[in-house]
């Protein structure tokens, strides 16, 4: 079976190389039959890569411990679900998954562009298959998932206990789908530059690809945060870990692009800027892959020491140098059709939004790479702590929250003072009312950030809901349809716009929850013997007794903790600690009681033979709203990309204003 897998990867490499050559030859000679042949090469890459993935899964499920990745990441007792996920637990296996998703995306691009974008497709195919050449060459000649070992062990080491978690079954693949999806906008951007077709065609072709890629990155980041919260036992969900940052950076730049591309579509502006954002987004996706495999930074998510770093770094340099050289050669064709007429306009707000997002991405990049830079200059690594990231992210997050509310209400080109007063009157009233509870909570220090987030969150929600109300009311009154019908028509006629507003509601939920969690969370440590009670932040914890168990896989200790508030017991939590015998690795089993306004999060630090339980307690406010906000963002993304019905005449076409709004 290993020979079949190796052969499949070699054939994938050959097919990708052929597809690049045939696509470029088609572009040079204008021979459509060569483009068709190149597209068949894309199908061949998909077929051979799929074969390699299937073979790897067969090896994992059949306990072929003569294969290094099977012996290193699986064992006889591992459940079939985790044997499947062991594919992306290894370095070579994760690259194989990356390559498989790339082949699927390339096939979908070919299928959806059979009758359109034919002038762009030779370059699109060449770029995608050029990326495939890199990954298949790495998998074939440098780090093969089908490498064998001798002597053959009787059993494997098993999967890292930290990865035996449902969130880790989905978190890495979803991130990879997001990373791979970002290669499609990049390929179309390069094709537009090469062919000089710099109109809106390439923008239209990548719209759904970009939103979907952004959505999968969002889901992956949220699930990764949830995994860290439940599995690592430190009471938090985001530690500004280098690999966490590697996923966040392309997400931030992609978010900037999704906003600024609307300015290009509507006003013909920011054309050079949008090209830069597309290039940077894809480069940062590659950079994330580089960070986890280079070994230059330590992370719980990384694969440790590796020889792949120089190859990925070389790819990043080639992508950046080639892309920007091509962009510079086309600058004269990318002049904006219009200029910024007012600093108080929707395009200006989008520009401010872009600068904040890219600025935050740069700050995260700087903080992540600072240890590497200091080691190169001074000979020692100086690590940047969470404090740096928090200090930078907090004001930028609040500014983004403000612009999220302001943006939809300001018209294109310029806004009159009278119109601004009319549109912002009620949101400002809501914000003023929100000041009262905010001042109650904001008593000192960092809590002012949370108070400001509450006020800005209320303002932004009022702005967004006001937009929904105006659109629904006009359709009901002037269109003569029912209220439910007006709601349905609002979304069906402009899914992208109103789906985006749903995403914004999710962003508000997350930012406000993060601010409150950072300002109002409390932590305490207790040492309780059986029957004893201790208190943290107004909650009483009673040790109801410990347990000790052992089986073939692990040794486990746990404690039952009765949790009360004001003397009224409302739950029993059962935190524990597992020590897996195969790896001799400790894993915390945290216990969480969740409500809409707080999490009671308990970690068992240790349990002595005489029943003394040492526990850490974290009271985390508003945690539920981080996860709810993530779900709302995903829902909004789905609405935005959902195919619209055939366009029909607007309800009141004559009443539409110059900015595309339907007046009240």
Reduce the secondary structure of 591-614 to three states and give it as a string: EEEECCCEEEEEEEEEECCCCCEE
Examine the domain organization and report whether 140 and 170 are in the same domain.
no
Domain boundary among 128, 159, 190: 159
Q: What is the pLDDT of residues 194-215, one digit of tens each?
A: 999 988 888 888 989 999 999 9
Instruction: From 189, 96, 178, select the one nearest 145 (Cα to Cα).
Output: 96
Q: Is residue 4 one of the residues assigned to a domain?
A: yes
- Domain membership of residue 661 (yes or no) is no
Please give the residue range of the domain that contains residue 175.
Answer: 162-335+343-357
CA angle 281, 266, 335 (to 5 degrees): 70
Which pLDDT score is estimated for 583? 66
pTM for the predicted model, two decimal places: 0.91
Q: What pLDDT score was predicted for residue 407?
A: 86
Q: Is residue 488 part of a domain?
A: no
Nearest Cα residue to 586 out of 599, 600, 576, 598:
576
Answer yes or no: is 432 within a domain: no
Indicate whether 50 and 141 sit together in one domain.
yes
**Do 68 and 121 share a domain, yes or no?**
yes
Clarify whether residues 194 and 282 are in a common domain.
yes
Residue 167 lies in a domain: yes
Q: Are residues 55 and 170 in the same domain?
A: no
Number of domains observed in the structure of the chain: 3
Do 209 and 68 belong together in one domain? no
Residue 535 forms part of a structural domain: yes
Classify residue 358 as exposed, middle or buried by CB count within 10 Å of its CB (0-12, 13-18, 19+): buried
Same domain for 92 and 36? Answer: yes
Same domain as 150, residue 258: no
CA distance 32 to 625: 53
Q: How confident is the chain (664 residues) per 10-residue block, as mean pLDDT? A: 94 97 89 91 97 96 93 88 90 93 96 90 96 96 92 86 85 93 95 91 89 95 93 89 90 94 86 94 90 64 63 93 95 83 85 94 91 78 83 92 89 81 88 84 69 92 90 80 82 85 95 90 93 93 91 85 92 91 79 93 92 93 95 94 61 37 36
Q: Do 171 and 310 belong together in one domain?
A: yes
Q: Are 184 and 287 members of one domain?
A: yes
How many secondary structure helices (H) and strands (E) does the chain include? 19, 10
Whether residue 166 sits in one domain with residue 155: no
* Domain boundary, last residue among 117, 140, 159: 159
Residue 661 pLDDT: 41
Instruction: Verify that 246 and 129 share a domain, yes or no.
Output: no
pLDDT in tens, 546-587: 988 887 778 889 999 999 998 899 999 999 998 887 667 788
**Rounded CA separation 161/391 (Å):** 34
**37 with 181: CB under 8 angstroms?**
no
pLDDT at 450: 86
Residue 428 belongs to some domain of the structure: no
Residue 151: cis peptide before it, omega within 30 degrees of 0: yes
Q: Which of 106, 131, 159 marks a domain boundary?
A: 159
Q: What is the pLDDT of residue 649?
A: 40
Kindly state whether residue 515 falls inside one of the protein's structural domains. no
Q: What whole-number distance in Å separates Cα of residue 78 and Cα of residue 70?
A: 11
């Amino acid at each position: 079976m290993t020979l079949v897998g190796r052969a499949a990867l070699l054939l994938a490499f050959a097919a990708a190389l052929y597809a690049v050559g045939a696509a470029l030859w088609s572009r040079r000679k204008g021979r459509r039959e060569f483009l068709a042949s190149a597209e068949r090469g894309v199908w061949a890459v998909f077929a051979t890569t799929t074969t390699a993935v299937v073979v790897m899964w067969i090896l994992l499920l059949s306990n072929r411990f003569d294969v290094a990745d099977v012996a290193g990441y699986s064992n006889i007792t591992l459940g079939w679900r985790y044997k499947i996920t062991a594919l992306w637990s290894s370095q070579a296996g994760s690259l194989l998954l990356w390559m498989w998703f790339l082949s699927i995306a390339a096939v979908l691009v070919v299928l959806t562009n059979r009758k359109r974008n034919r002038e762009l497709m030779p370059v699109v195919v060449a770029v995608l298959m050029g990326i495939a050449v890199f990954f298949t060459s790495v998998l074939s000649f440098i780090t093969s998932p089908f490498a064998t070992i001798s002597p053959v062990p009787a059993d494997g080491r098993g999967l890292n206990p930290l990865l035996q978690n449902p969130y880790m079954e989905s978190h890495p693949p979803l991130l990879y789908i997001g990373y791979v999806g970002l290669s499609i906008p990049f390929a179309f951007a390069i094709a537009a530059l090469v062919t000089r077709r710099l109109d809106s065609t390439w923008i239209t072709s990548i719209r759904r690809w970009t939103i979907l890629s952004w959505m999968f990155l969002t889901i992956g980041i949220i699930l990764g945060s949830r995994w860290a919260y439940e599995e690592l036992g430190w009471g938090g969900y985001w530690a500004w870990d280098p690999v966490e940052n590697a996923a966040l950076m392309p997400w931030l730049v992609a978010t900037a692009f999704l906003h600024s591309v609307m300015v290009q579509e509507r006003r013909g502006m920011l054309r050079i800027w949008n090209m830069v954002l597309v290039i940077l987004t894809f480069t940062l996706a590659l950079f994330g892959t580089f960070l986890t495999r280079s070994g230059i930074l330590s992370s719980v998510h990384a694969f440790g020491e590796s020889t792949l770093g120089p190859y990925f770094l070389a790819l990043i340099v080639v992508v950046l140098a080639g892309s920007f050289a091509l962009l510079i050669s086309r600058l004269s064709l990318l002049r904006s059709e219009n200029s910024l007429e007012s600093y108080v306009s929707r395009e200006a707000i989008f520009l401010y939004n872009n600068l904040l997002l890219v600025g935050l991405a740069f700050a995260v990049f700087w903080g992540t790479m600072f240890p590497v830079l200091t080691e190169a200059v001074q000979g020692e690594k100086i690590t940047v702590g969470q404090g740096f990231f928090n200090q930078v992210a907090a004001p930028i997050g609040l500014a983004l929250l403000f612009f999220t509310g302001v943006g939809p209400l300001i018209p294109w080109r310029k806004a009159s003072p009278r119109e601004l007063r009319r549109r912002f009157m009620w949101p400002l009233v809501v914000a003023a009312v929100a000041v009262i509870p905010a001042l109650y909570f904001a008593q000192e220090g960092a809590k002012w950030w949370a108070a400001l987030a509450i006020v800005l969150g209320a303002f932004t929600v009022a702005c967004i809901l006001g937009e929904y109300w105006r659109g629904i009311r006009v359709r009901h009154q002037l269109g003569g349809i029912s209220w439910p019908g007006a709601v349905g028509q609002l979304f069906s006629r402009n899914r992208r716009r109103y789906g985006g507003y749903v995403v914004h509601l999710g962003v508000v939920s997350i930012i406000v929850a993060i601010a409150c969690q950072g300002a109002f969370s409390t932590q305490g440590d207790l040492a309780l013997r059986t029957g004893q009670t201790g208190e943290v932040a107004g909650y009483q914890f009673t040790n109801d007794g410990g347990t000790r168990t052992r089986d073939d896989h692990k040794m486990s200790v746990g404690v039952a903790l009765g949790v009360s508030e004001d003397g009224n017991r409302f739950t029993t939590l059962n935190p524990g600690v597992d020590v897996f015998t195969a790896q001799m690795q400790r894993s915390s089993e945290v216990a969480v009681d969740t409500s809409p306004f707080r999490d009671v999060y308990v970690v068992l630090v240790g349990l002595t033979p005489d029943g003394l339980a040492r526990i850490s307690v974290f009271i985390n406010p508003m945690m539920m709203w981080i996860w709810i906000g993530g779900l709302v963002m995903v829902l909004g993304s789905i609405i935005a990309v959902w195919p619209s019905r055939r366009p029909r005449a607007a309800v009141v076409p004559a009443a539409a204003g110059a900015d595309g709004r339907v007046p009240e």
